[in-house]
């Protein structure tokens, strides 16, 4: 068994593609299969080396490893051989229409209330007509003549699926400049590198019917591949997530401080019968079953991802976080704040609260109270009981309790309405820092 993830280096990896990468990686691990990373870079104009590097970086950040990898641009000779095979069999035929001519044909068919399917006019060209066209300077592009009838397969997610080939235009496989298109290159790679299972988005359903026909024209046996088409992700408003990549690229999530384990855990189970839980790739792989993915579109909810990210970080020991914490941060700091951060980027703020410099807001109506609390501040050394003993003394002296007792102190010492337990933060702040913040807030 062999699976592949085949991104194009034409942009940053976003959560929709990451979901497919995770599905393939988990399925491969679950079944002890080989996992291939293929860089689909036949689009010369849009493919960029920095995007290819970013793809590998993002996959490694997720913890995804591959057993083999290659670039399509290194296999152009194999595509050329396949092109000749299809030409020799009569399945690949030259076309000379311009974009304007094709557009006019489509409009004419629509006016006649016919499907805007390519009319195969070029199949009726004689050798003399073709020679004349080329003599006039026209360079052909090449279409694949689809079979008549229907292509069907048992999809691991969508169930029994079928594509009526006569309802589809014969696809262009080779541009006039000789560039081979993804539709053919992908089939050649899958056949020649032994891919057995193809897990990808449902936007490829029609393309799958076409590619099965191409594969069989190249000699593949029927049923050569097993397919699973994952429903596309929607944004929180129900729109197509695929149209909104910028804020949901893996690079953006990483820069925002999302933990990769949260991304993997969320996307692995999004849209399935299993609730997301903070698990590692290895743990997820033991039970991963693509058949449990719903056929309905799933909605990507950033709030759910943040909630899961909090759980992931809360479980992590100090040693696992040491290199991600602000310089000088201790285990006591991590244990104090880890239950109150959604993002790694928030740690810097709490480090400033605990051991750095902040300017708390002035509480004009609580000035007298804060100065009285300052006068009752116990001497060092401080420990986990200091907050309790200090606030107990304040309660006895002022008669305050509940929110009236605690809220002004929290705001004065942290600048926040809520956050980590004060009993844990107070020893990290120290006597001098606490006293100074009380004076500032009491002005």
* Residue 393: Cβ-neighbour burial (10 angstroms; 0-12, 13-18, 19+): middle
User: How does pLDDT run across 5-34, given as a tens digit for each residue?
Assistant: 999 999 999 999 999 999 999 999 999 999
Q: Cα Rg for the chain, rounded, in angstroms? A: 31
Q: What percent of the chain has pLDDT over 90?
A: 85
Q: Is 105 annotated as a binding residue?
A: no
Residues forming beta bridges with residue 198, ordered by sequence position: 227
DSSP 202: G
Give the span between the Cα atoms of 353 and 358, in whole angstroms.
6
Mean pLDDT of 261-273: 93
Mean pLDDT of 392-409: 97
CB-CB contact of 17 with 48 (8 Å):
no
Query: Tokens for 84?
Result: 């000749």
78-87, 114-123, 230-239, 390-399: segment of lowest average pLDDT: 230-239
Q: Do the domains 366-442 and 2-77+180-234 match in fold?
A: no
pLDDT value at position 275?
86
Q: What percent of the chain has pLDDT over 70?
A: 99
pLDDT value at position 246?
59
Assign a CATH topology to domain 89-148+159-172: 3.90.800
Assign a CATH topology to domain 2-77+180-234: Rossmann fold (3.40.50)
Contact partners, residue 277, CB within 8 Å, separation at least 6: 265, 269, 308, 311
pLDDT at 130 over 80: yes
Mean pLDDT of 361-389: 95
pLDDT value at position 443?
87
Nearest to 198 by CA among 158, 231, 226, 232: 226
Mean pLDDT of 288-298: 92
Structure-token match 């959560």, residue found: 15
Q: Strand 92-95 vs strand 141-144: parallel, antiparallel, or unpaired?
A: antiparallel
pLDDT at 330 over 70: yes
User: How does pLDDT run across 179-209, given as a tens digit for each residue?
Assistant: 999 999 999 999 999 999 999 999 999 999 9
User: How does pLDDT run across 131-185, given as a tens digit for each residue?
Assistant: 999 999 899 999 999 999 999 999 999 999 999 999 999 999 999 999 999 999 9
User: How does pLDDT run across 230-252, given as a tens digit for each residue?
Assistant: 998 888 777 777 544 456 899 99
pLDDT value at position 242?
56
Pick the CATH number of 366-442 from 2.30.42.10, 2.60.40.1170, 3.10.50.40, 1.10.10.350: 1.10.10.350
Mean pLDDT of 119-128: 91
∠ CA 158-62-347, rounded to 5° = 125
Query: pTM of this prediction?
Result: 0.86
pLDDT value at position 245?
47
> Coil, helix or strand for 37?
strand
pLDDT value at position 243?
46
CB-CB contact of 162 with 152 (8 Å):
yes
pLDDT at 84 over 60: yes
Mean pLDDT of 382-404: 96
Give the span between the Cα atoms of 288 and 352, in whole angstroms.
41
CA atoms within 13 A on the CB side of 147: 15
Q: Where are the domains of the chain?
A: 2-77+180-234, 89-148+159-172, 366-442
User: How does pLDDT run across 332-368, given as a tens digit for each residue?
Assistant: 999 999 989 888 889 999 999 999 999 999 999 999 9
Nearest to 23 by CA among 206, 230, 226: 230
* Residue 6: Cβ-neighbour burial (10 angstroms; 0-12, 13-18, 19+): buried
């Amino acid at each position: 068994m062999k699976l592949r993830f085949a991104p194009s280096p034409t942009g940053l990896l976003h959560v929709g593609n990451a979901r497919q990468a995770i599905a393939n990686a988990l399925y491969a691990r679950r079944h002890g299969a080989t996992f291939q990373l293929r860089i689909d870079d036949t689009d010369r104009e849009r493919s960029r080396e920095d995007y290819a590097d970013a793809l590998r970086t993002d996959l490694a950040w997720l913890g995804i490893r591959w057993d083999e990898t290659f670039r399509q641009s290194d296999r152009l000779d194999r595509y050329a051989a396949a092109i000749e095979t299809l030409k020799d069999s009569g399945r690949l035929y030259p076309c000379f229409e311009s974009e304007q001519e094709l557009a006019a044909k489509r409009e004419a068919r629509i006016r006649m209330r016919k499907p805007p399917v390519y009319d195969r006019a070029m199949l009726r060209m004689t050798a003399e007509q073709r020679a004349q066209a080329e003599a006039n300077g026209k360079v052909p592009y090449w279409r694949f003549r689809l079979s008549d009838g229907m292509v069907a397969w048992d999809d691991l997610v969508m169930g029994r699926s079928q594509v009526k080939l006569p309802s589809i235009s014969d696809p262009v496989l080779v541009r006039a400049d000789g560039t081979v298109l993804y539709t053919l290159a992908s089939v050649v790679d899958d056949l020649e590198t032994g891919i057995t299972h193809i897990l990808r988005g449902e936007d490829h359903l029609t393309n799958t019917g076409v590619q099965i026909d191409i594969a069989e024209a190249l000699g593949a046996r029927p049923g050569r591949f097993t397919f699973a088409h994952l429903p596309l992700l929607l944004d929180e408003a129900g729109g197509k997530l695929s149209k909104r990549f910028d804020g949901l690229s893996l690079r953006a999530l990483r820069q925002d401080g999302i933990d990769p384990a949260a991304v993997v855990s969320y996307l692995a189970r999004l849209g399935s019968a299993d609730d997301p839980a903070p698990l590692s790739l290895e743990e997820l792989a033991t039970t991963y079953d693509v058949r449990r993915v719903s056929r309905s579109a799933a909605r990507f909810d950033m709030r759910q991802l943040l909630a899961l990210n909090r759980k992931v970080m809360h479980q992590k020991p100090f040693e696992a976080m040491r290199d991600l914490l602000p310089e000088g941060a201790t285990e006591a700091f991590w244990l104090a704040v880890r239950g109150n951060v959604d993002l790694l980027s928030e740690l810097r703020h709490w480090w400033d609260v605990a051991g750095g410099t902040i300017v708390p807001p002035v509480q004009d109506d609580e000035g007298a109270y804060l100065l009285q609390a300052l006068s009752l501040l116990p001497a060092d050394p401080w420990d986990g009981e200091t907050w309790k003993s200090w606030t107990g003394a304040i309660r006895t002296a002022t008669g305050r309790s509940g929110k009236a007792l605690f809220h002004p102190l929290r705001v004065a010492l942290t600048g926040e309405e809520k956050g980590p337990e004060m009993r844990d933060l107070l020893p990290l702040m120290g006597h001098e820092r606490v006293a100074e913040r009380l004076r500032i807030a009491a002005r």
